[in-house]
Structure 1
């Protein structure tokens, strides 16, 4: 039986490493080959990708249950390639209608008419608005019972030879060969790797999900409205559900968070839009309206920092938080999960076939994670940079910038969404059909 000593924390934790004093007593050490921190899109897709290859992992979630808060995400071609690889597409496609195109108009009455870009009917133009709750539940349902460990908040990480010791808030310590941080923008694993906290932009997003007892009649087109420093969108998930958002730059440092006032704020900003569009916001249940400040990781930090070190790496928002302006946050998290699971699977299968020593296994895992990092670095930098620039242009207020955007750039920016989605993360096992 393996034991370690648990200590009382006397000083503040810095970057996930704490000074320990005052011996309290022995605590049993649990051993897991792969520990994934965070049961979000990246964490669950990585765990499922490993499971599909017969590899067991443990997912740590700080909440008592799945965090299914949040509204929806637009899933483009690249996301569906990842979902195909994970075997989830048949369960998710029937409940989410395929989107036919995007129409871009102005929030100001009498301004330029909408410009429409129709998507092709080929698989390369597949886009659907996926409810986040259904996606997470589908990912979790496919995992073996006991894979997700809830109420498990990571407080620090320690070195232990070729292993890492993951300390939880309840005093539990997990010893692992592989540690993956997928716990979002405040990732303790990312800080352990040397990443700084993501940059908080001056912009905020208000989001909601509206359910209609009867068909909403809104069609299967993305409707986006720009102008007066705001960007708003309405995206049908199916005949009965519409996801909407509004991003803007608050004028007050202490932004309102009350759902009733947030709804009224959105309606005021969209007062010149047609009644059927405003009605979507008016019919939104207050419990589904949320506000968040937009954050991103400067691309140069990904260029110079460590995506992986030893047997530790990060994925999803722990790696590449980005503004939502090209709809690639959740899509790229799914890509991460497939690529990381494939690289780890290759390394672990090679180890098992050769019967390597512990040190040789460690080196194999280290090389597998480096391969993952090399595949994801430039993709992450590209998406973060593009999203930031698109958001800057779309929410601009200057007269001439608005004129150029509305007259010349609307179609270009719409095509940019499709261009960035034309990415195939590949299969879980290279060369498989």
Structure 2
């Protein structure tokens, strides 16, 4: 093992993936998580082929396949249940080499966490300042026992949508903005087999993804003003989705009110000019927060992590060149996916004009399934760097 040290700010999926990718390259890593408990807040994830390949490169693919659910072919429906577009599973495998994987966020987070030495993970650690010099970086943070300063060869800013690292290093950047939609999510026990699919109504979308172990992840999204809250969020969903096709009413009926999460959707309309400042690299939502319409948020963070580990394989001595390569390899692709996801939301869930809505649905019905799949597959058609999967554990 080399003596290179990295500090990862943020203990979510992106941060832990980065820590594991560096660990597999021989780095020593300190993960600083602001929350008092290291856990993932959320419901489920649909991991596309690129994310699955990234997790394979991190050595976690087999465990997650056991703990998740290989998604059955589905597609897009209207609110009455009529199919607008279907996904052919055999064609998906032919194009991408694998299917998508539905998994509970907590399962993925736990699998990442357990692959790292427990002593590397620090909670209740509030980062106050990051400084990058030519030869090393420095992180100052408040822990439960007082202030600390860490020196590092590399700092990874993986502290999410409201990244303090991003705000400090790019103080004039306008930051994320509300994308116009609010989403509700839950993971519930639902043993009946159903395909992963989404349904569109005017200004509304409902999705469902089996995530293994008799569980199912669902979400509902609506055009809405930001910052809204309701005394009973489940009642809001029943009002909007209660008369949609089966099994949507049954899913809502099977959902305990206290497991429903509500979040406004944000994105970064002004892309960052770089993901790197000195010896600090941004990753995941800290670098490229995006709408969920392509199911690529976690996947792009995992890609970031795998590439970061690959370019940093030579240890601390080559960090500046490694981070230049990281920025070159990741910024164009991730920002392109973020733009495409925003457009997909505008033409999908957010579309509410009756004429445009009807025209969009008609276009979907007459478009060959293989053409639709090809248009989606280009975002999931990513392979890790050639030597990622063979790096030492």
Question: Please, what TM-score do these two structures have when normalized by structure 2?
Answer: 0.89
Tell me the equivalent position of 1:245: 219
SS at match of 2:199: strand
The answer to whether the Cα contact below 8 Å between 1:125 and 1:418 also exists between their aligned partners in 2 is: no
SS at match of 1:183: coil
In structure 2, how many angstroms separate the alpha carbons of the residues matched to 1:159 and 1:151? 23
Tell me the equivalent position of 1:197: 175
- Over 3 Å counting, the alpha-carbon distance change for 1:102 and 1:149 in structure 2 is same
SS at match of 2:71: coil
The answer to whether residue 379 in structure 2 is matched with residue 416 in structure 1 is no
**Ranges in structure 2 where 5+ consecutive residues have no aligned partner:** none
Q: 1:265 aligns with which of 236, 241, 244?
A: 236
- Over 3 Å counting, the alpha-carbon distance change for 1:191 and 1:210 in structure 2 is same
Tell me the equivalent position of 2:184: 206
In structure 2, how many angstroms separate the alpha carbons of the residues matched to 1:234 and 1:159? 44
Deviations 1:54-100 (A, max 9, x none): 22111110112223210111011101111110110111102222112
Residue 43 of structure 1 deviates from its aligned partner by 0.9
Tell me the equivalent position of 1:167: 140
The answer to whether residue 306 in structure 2 is matched with residue 338 in structure 1 is yes
**Ranges in structure 1 where 5+ consecutive residues have no aligned partner:** 1-30, 352-360
Matches within 5 A, 1:371-386: 371-386=325-340
The answer to whether the Cα contact below 8 Å between 2:57 and 2:388 also exists between their aligned partners in 1 is: no
Structure ranking higher on relative contact order (CA contacts 8 Å, 6+ apart): 2
The answer to whether the Cα contact below 8 Å between 1:208 and 1:243 also exists between their aligned partners in 2 is: yes
Tell me the equivalent position of 1:133: 106
Tell me the equivalent position of 2:274: 306
- Over 3 Å counting, the alpha-carbon distance change for 1:216 and 1:46 in structure 2 is same
Q: Larger deviation: 118-127 or 237-246?
A: 118-127
The answer to whether the Cα contact below 8 Å between 1:33 and 1:57 also exists between their aligned partners in 2 is: yes
Matches within 5 A, 1:4-403: 33-107=5-79, 109=80, 112-120=82-90, 121-122=93-94, 124-159=97-132, 162-169=135-142, 170-194=146-170, 195-212=173-190, 215-218=191-194, 221-238=195-212, 240-250=214-224, 252=225, 254-258=227-231, 261-298=232-269, 300-302=270-272, 305-346=273-314, 348=315, 361=317, 364-394=318-348, 395-403=350-358
Length, aligned pairs only: 377
SS at match of 2:74: strand
SS at match of 2:220: strand
The answer to whether the Cα contact below 8 Å between 2:84 and 2:364 also exists between their aligned partners in 1 is: no
SS at match of 1:146: helix
- Over 3 Å counting, the alpha-carbon distance change for 1:235 and 1:161 in structure 2 is closer
Question: Please, what TM-score do these two structures have when normalized by structure 1?
Answer: 0.81
Tell me which structure has the larger Cα radius of gyration: 1
Residue 413 of structure 1 deviates from its aligned partner by 5.7
- Over 3 Å counting, the alpha-carbon distance change for 1:230 and 1:176 in structure 2 is same
